Amino acid sequence: MKNIAMRCGVSVATVSKVLNEKDEDVSDLTRELVKKTSKEMGYVMNALARSMKTKNTKTLGIMMPDIKNAFYTDICRGAEDMAMKNGYSLFLCNTDDKIEKEIHYLEKLMEKQVDGIIIIASMERNTKMEEIQKMNVPFAVLNNNTHYPGWSVQVMADNENGMRQAVNHLASLGHRRIFYLSGETILPFNADRLKGYKEGLADWSIPYDEHLLGSTEFSLEAAKCYFKLHGLPEGVTAVCTGNDLMALGVLQWAYEAGLRIPEDLSLVGYDDSILARVTSPKLTSIHQQSYRSGELLVEELLKQIEGQKEPKTVYLNSSLMKRESTGPVPR
């Protein structure tokens, strides 16, 4: 900064004001000269030195279970865009759905002195490991799927009503034998979706049949293998899945089994990711506002960082997106 000041013929204090964007009392001409000169000289702000003075690193961390899953990618984009809009950078950590990897990254993020952390929980949980973690920064969670104490913000999707809408849609088309292929997890959102599935059946006075419930991993390969191994129970005319990746697995299995979607079998996914709009046929799915979830996680977390102390919960509605993969019950 001394070299920039010498070249521009101004004080070091003036250069500091411009580079730290606290230059209200600096003329436009001087401001532009300092910025131009600093760029020519290759000046880079020392973020560590600045954070020691301001106690703020302008960085956030986000824990992502599986970056290959388009649902999580949409959340990350929403979070990144909101962080950048507010002058923050976002560190992405992919946990591969492993609790030990998640906790490792949490510790590393706190070592880096990020200002806040967003936790989208991995499928694998360990209550004892989580409860002893001491968070020294505000943190936000999605769907409250963790046992970490002292969260500042949680964003909750309406998983129960989302699955209820899926079943109601299929029942309105005449389907009465509706299979639900759930994800294999103990996380609360999975229990909420099962509850919504049962409520949707009850809305149409359809008896719940445990033989029409299956579970596997949240992946294309797992869903395809499930039906290759077990087939469809007798009389089933429609399938709901735990996410869009699983629905793609059902699509592939159905094609190889000689079943037409939706003429022979109707199919509903969950998440309404980009995958739902590029399949053939296009996938009916439950929209979860994933991008908006990412925005809200950052938006509300920044309020906590800036001094809001009361924990806050934000609820987001789910909605049915009707496309080509559902139709009337086959004759």
- Would residue 201 be called left, alpha or beta, if left means φ above 0 and alpha means ψ between -120 and 50 degrees? alpha
Domain residue spans of the chain: 2-45, 57-158+290-317, 160-287
Spatial separation of the C-alpha atoms in residues 25 and 30, rounded to whole Å: 10
Q: And the tokens for 62?
A: 């986000």
Class of domain 57-158+290-317: alpha beta
pTM above 0.85, yes or no: no
Question: Fold identical between 57-158+290-317 and 160-287?
Answer: yes
Q: Provide the residue-wise pLDDT of the chain in tens; the chain has 331 residues.
A: 899 999 999 998 998 888 877 888 889 999 999 999 988 888 876 655 555 555 678 999 999 998 888 899 999 999 999 999 999 999 999 999 999 999 999 999 998 889 999 999 888 888 888 988 888 899 999 987 888 988 999 999 999 999 999 999 999 999 999 999 998 877 888 899 999 999 999 999 999 999 999 999 999 999 999 999 999 999 999 999 999 999 999 999 999 999 999 999 999 999 999 999 999 999 999 999 999 999 999 999 999 999 888 899 999 999 999 999 999 999 7
How many whole angstroms separate alpha carbon 121 and alpha carbon 188? 11
CATH of the domain spanning 160-287: 3.40.50.2300
H or E element that contains 261: none
Are residues 57 and 51 in contact, defined by beta-carbon separation less than 8 angstroms?
A: yes
Helix and strand counts by DSSP (H, E) for the chain: 12, 12
| Residue 108 CB partners (closer than 8 Å, separation 6+) | 93
